[in-house]
């Protein structure tokens, strides 16, 4: 690739990075000034599939095959109806509710 073509690509990449930073800053300002109206919270778990680790035979240091079970990681999402910002969390907090017993 000729040097001038490579320089042109580097210059274009630098311009695109500047544009991206500008758009990111503008979007951040809009989201920061929005008085969010959050829609429904949606449960959207992350599924980690199980898999098998094969045996490794290395003399006296061998490791038998074993299965790693699949698991589900809880995740919730919400979306602002005004600006479209999407937030997600995997954090939870305990809520204790007392009710009368009759």
For the chain, the average pLDDT equals 92
Residue 47 CB contacts under 8 Å (≥ 6 apart), including other chains:
70, 72, 73
**How many other β-carbons are positioned within 10 Å of the β-carbon of residue 46?**
11
pLDDT band at 61 (very low <50, low <70, confident <90, very high): confident
Output 50 or 56, whichever has higher pLDDT.
Answer: 50
Res 68 pLDDT > 80:
yes
Residue located via tokens 């479209």: 84
pLDDT score of 56: 86
Output 3 or 7, whichever has higher pLDDT.
Answer: 7
Q: In this structure, are residues 47 and 20 in contact, taking their beta carbons and an 8 Å threshold?
A: no
> How much is the average pLDDT of 39-50?
95
pTM for the whole structure: 0.64
């Amino acid at each position: 690739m000729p040097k001038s073509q490579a320089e042109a690509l580097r210059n274009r990449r630098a311009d695109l990075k500047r544009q991206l930073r500008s758009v990111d800053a503008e979007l951040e300002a809009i989201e920061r000034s929005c008085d969010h109206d959050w829609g429904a919270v949606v449960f959207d778990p992350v599924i980690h599939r199980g898999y098998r680790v094969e045996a490794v035979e290395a003399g006296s240091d061998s490791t038998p095959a074993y299965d790693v079970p699949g698991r589900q990681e809880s995740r919730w999402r919400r979306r602002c109806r005004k600006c479209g910002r999407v937030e997600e969390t995997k954090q939870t907090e305990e809520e204790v509710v007392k009710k009368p017993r009759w």
